[in-house]
Amino acid sequence: MRRAGGEAPPGAPVPSPEEEQRKKATVIHAVYLIAALDITWMFLQFSVTPYLAKKLGFDTLWFGYLQTTVGVIQLIGGPMFGRFADLFGARLALSLSCSATIVFFLLLAIANHPAMLFIHKLPTVFMHVLPASQMVIADLSEPENCADALAKLGLCFGIGMITGSTLGGHLITRYGETFTACVGAAGSAFSLLLVLKFIPKTTKTQAAAADAHSQNTNKSVFSVGEITRLMKFPGVVRTFAVKIVAGLPSGIFQVMFSIIALDFFKLQPEQNGYLMAYFGIVNMFIQGGVMGPLTARFTENSLLALSVGVASLVGLAQAYMQNVFQLCLTIVPMMFSLSVFNVITDTMLTKSVPSTDTGDHSYVIIKSFIIKTWLFIEPALLLCAGTMMGLCASVQSLLRTVGPTVGGFLYVNYGLPSIGLAQFVVNAGVFVYLLRPHLEKTPERRE
């Protein structure tokens, strides 16, 4: 029987099943609140950084370098955090993430020099509240309810995205970047208090905790051998290659979006907040009403090809857009392609390895969850509770490492159309590659 607070001390009265379920429900509801607050503060920060960078004299290239710094740090932190959570548990991981977020916002609040903008990104190596939240919910939910419990994190993300973007725009317009960053630090401190108050020391069953300990006793937080072993499973290298190559062009647009909104579309902080809120609404609609029917009806390979094909057309449309209205029209197919692409590739990767390498629960639960839930900025971070899921997060960080530098070069030298055309060409090539097996089988059937 699972206990929300871990193994009871010797001689302590054993709680009744009803009381135990109430404790679990309280913890899960607290995790939902922590996750929604974390996303709120994250999008609050997205409202601050581009405008503060402009005040400090950053041009497009240097803003790209700043984003690359974040990608490098999280590229290192992705696998390490996955192993850290496996070894030390979700509560400690949540506490570490919330504490890092507080430091992050405090450094942002006192940033008055270009160098400080780079320094304040260092805590992002530990800022993974969402994966730790996923671990707690997966540990405390019954197997038959786990997918639905985890899927609600997608709703928390949408709420936080809309709230954080709108709140950030209003605060910057009225009180400035420093005050907005202080609000983020205070909010993160409140999240940490919620963790210390409601999250138990251990969220695993006694048997599961003992099994995990025996498996991890001789394993370090960062194991190159473990990563190499996972890469040898059939289909993993191919899926990673597609995820990186096809994901790079759209990743460039994502990481450059803040500077594009500021420089190309000339949006003010409040207007940018409303636009990001629109992203959140579209995201919630797609993951709530579109992803389920699609994944139930079509195969993974078909959906992967569909997402890459749609991304290619989105790139072509973005190459010729001239105003915010046209941008809003491209957001719907863009969010659709990104949702399908990230969900399917992460599903294929977790399916390629044993369940022991994707977390403590079966692949079926994880697959049901990632079909229902997707995160726009860092979709795979929610799934990095195991080593393979940490690698999924690292792919996104790799794209954020290369994307800003490449995007800044293209934008400065060739303009916004070059980013869209690059996405069109690269994704069209990957689309043809994915269709090649089907095209080769067709003549054989005719014969």
DSSP of 176-209? -HHHHHHHHHHHHHHHHHHHHHHS-S--S-HHHH
Cβ neighbours of residue 166 under 8 Å, at least 6 residues apart? 273, 274, 277
Tokens, residue 218: 């001789």
Residue 36 CB partners (closer than 8 Å, separation 6+)? 156, 157, 159, 160, 163
- Cα-based torsion angle of the residue sequence 76, 78, 79, 83 in order, rounded to the nearest 10 degrees: 120
What confidence score (pLDDT) does residue 271 get?
85
Alpha carbons 435 and 110: distance in angstroms, whole number = 52
Residue type, 17: P
pLDDT in the model for residue 41 = 92
| pLDDT score, position 361 | 37
Q: Kindly report the backbone phi and psi dihedral angles of residue 164, in degrees, each rounded to the nearest multiple of 5, phi listed first.
A: -65, -40
Decide: 126 and 84 in contact? Cβ < 8 Å: no
Structure tokens at 194: 């919620």
Which amino acid makes up residue 85?
A: A
pLDDT tens profile 34-57 = 999 999 999 898 888 888 888 888
Neighbours of 319 (CB within 10 A): 17
Residue 233: count other Cβ atoms within 10 Å of its Cβ: 15
Compute the distance between CA of residue 191 and CA of residue 105 in angstroms, rounded to an integer. 13
Quick one: tokens of 139? Answer: 């540990």
Instruction: Using alpha carbons, list the distances in angstroms from residue 126 to 21, 34, 183, 295, 421.
Output: 31, 16, 20, 33, 35
Which residue ranges in the chain fall short of pLDDT 70? 1-15, 78-79, 82, 86, 143-151, 202-235, 346-347, 349-400, 438-447
Res 259: pLDDT: 79
Residue (of 366, 393, 356, 359) closest to 233 by Cα position: 356
pLDDT at 212: 47
Q: Where are the alpha helices (DSSP H) in 110-223?
A: 114-119, 129-140, 143-175, 177-198, 206-216
pLDDT the model gives residue 329: 93
Q: How far is CA 141 from CA 27, 137, 351, 378, 437, in A?
A: 10, 6, 21, 24, 41
Q: From CA 46, how far away is CA 42, in angstroms rounded?
A: 6
The per-residue pLDDT for 226 is 56
**Rounded Cα–Cα distance for residues 447 and 442 (Å):** 9
Between CA 32 and CA 165 the distance in angstroms is 19
pLDDT for 443: 53
d(C-alpha 112, C-alpha 102), whole Å: 18
